[in-house]
Structure 1
Amino acid sequence: MSDAAERLAEVAANIAGAANRAQRRPGDICLIAVSKTHDADAIRPLIAAGQRDFGENRVQEAAAKWPALRAEAPDVRLHLIGQLQSNKAEEAVALFDAIHSVDRSSLAQALAKACTKAGRQPQLFVQVNIGDEEQKGGCAVADLPALLDEAREAGLAIDGLMAIPPADVDPAPYFALLDELAERHALPLRSIGMSGDYDSAVMLGATHVRVGTALFGHRG
């Protein structure tokens, strides 16, 4: 096995173990390989090993490297996991299969127009600032009901919630809160968990985990 295949198998086994402990089906959890800042040569081994969902932070970076990779692997699914400027909505709708960072009314309106123009809508997640951190994107927990209403009134289908817990604290309470919020608003998907805590996220309801270092390895 290649290094990439070994890393992918290890992460998949960890996800399956956490899912089984939570009495969930491992197949219900989507593993997103966070390929931001990695070039095509670093990504190809994971595609060859069978990975099909990849996450990018920036529209421009994804637009530069993914058309060629998708020509080689047309069944790859791209997820935008970073902040999105409203003026990039049209480009994002054309390029991504899922957008995890809907966090304000103006972006919802821009995405609605872009989706209508393109005749397609990516899977959409509202990002919640679950730790109420000034430096992080995401809508405030208190503003979530209004943003969901505004998105739906604009014609968008919201599929789930996304959050990044504060660093250097136990993420479990934040994962549990996001799961509760998603349940309260009848949203089936929860995008939570990264390389250091994805097993905990799976135990607490994650349907999508965003894993970078554990799949691509540490930079030299």
Structure 2
Amino acid sequence: MSIAQNIEEIHKKIDISKVKLVAVTKNHGVSAMLEALAAGVTAVGENRVQEMLAKHPAIQAAGRSAEWHLIGHLQTNKVRQAVPLADLIHSVDSERLAREIDSTAGKLGKRQDVLLQVNIADEDSKFGVEAGQALPLARLISQLEHVRLCGLMTIAPFSETPEAIRPVFKETYQLYSELKLLKLANTEFNWLSMGMTNDYQVAIEEGANLVRIGTAIFGSRQY
């Protein structure tokens, strides 16, 4: 099926008035991104700052606009490149990174929207803070002048049976709800980013309102 048809099929499975679809464009070219934007996608997600830097001007030159989400791990030495372009950074997982984003955004006169990445399954292979560290880091971020905490992001363990990882999504939603109830100053705790091609429907059932889908839109990545 075409990219437009793939997006149409996804839209049949999610309520786009309640759930934002982020089209993950890692290793996919500008032409594929333009097809997705023409088919109604409004947000694109990049894993690498380098790809965002390369694609952003090309999309603009084509007369298209999009929300740019940085969903991959962000190194502190890439913050100065990322902040000018990113509408939402999903992967804040340390005080050092949060402070670097704050400093860079301040120099640009910008308030950078971010999500706190949590590693609910405590996988060594994944970034993110443990659940018990989420509140202290959220409190710290809420005190930064040029960063706005907007919610949580998690990456669940891969499973051929998405039902098996439902508890991860459930626990993340519980943590999200607890933090939201605190109504920390200078936050807009509205986004719970969880769920990808293999498991987004289960994630939505457990409270996700931001899903990151690549393969189901674009097919397998071209390396």
Fold shared, TM-score > 0.5 on shorter chain? yes
Distance 1:209 1:84, change over 3 A: same
Q: Secondary structure at the match of 2:82?
A: helix
Question: Paired residue for 2:186?
Answer: none
- Percent identity of paired positions between Structure 1 and Structure 2: 37
Question: Paired residue for 1:200?
Answer: 202
Question: Paired residue for 1:190?
Answer: 192
* CA distance in 2: counterparts of 1:172 and 1:66, whole angstroms: 35
Question: Paired residue for 1:178?
Answer: 172
CA-CA distance at 1:117 after TM superposition: 0.9
CA-CA distance at 1:71 after TM superposition: 3.1
Q: Secondary structure at the match of 1:154?
A: coil
Counterparts of 1:1-220 in structure 2 under 5 Å?
3-16=2-15, 26-155=16-145, 156-168=147-159, 170-186=164-180, 187-218=189-220
Q: Which amino acid aligns with 1:162?
A: M
| 8 Å contact from structure 1 (residues 182, 188) kept in 2 | no
Could you state the TM-score of these two structures normalised by the residue count of structure 1? 0.90
Question: Paired residue for 1:21?
Answer: none
Q: Which amino acid aligns with 1:15?
A: I
| 8 Å contact from structure 2 (residues 23, 212) kept in 1 | yes
> Hey, which bits of structure 1, 4+ residues long, moved more than 4 A?
none
Q: Which amino acid aligns with 2:28?
A: H
* CA distance in 2: counterparts of 1:63 and 1:146, whole angstroms: 32
Q: Secondary structure at the match of 1:33?
A: strand
Could you state the TM-score of these two structures normalised by the residue count of structure 2? 0.89
Q: Which has the higher helix share?
A: 1
Q: Secondary structure at the match of 1:82?
A: coil
Runs of 5+ unmatched residues, structure 2: 181-188
| 8 Å contact from structure 1 (residues 193, 210) kept in 2 | yes
Q: Secondary structure at the match of 2:45?
A: strand
Runs of 5+ unmatched residues, structure 1: 17-25
Name whichever of 67-76 and 3-12 sits farther off.
67-76
Q: Which amino acid aligns with 1:173?
A: P
CA-CA distance at 1:205 after TM superposition: 0.8
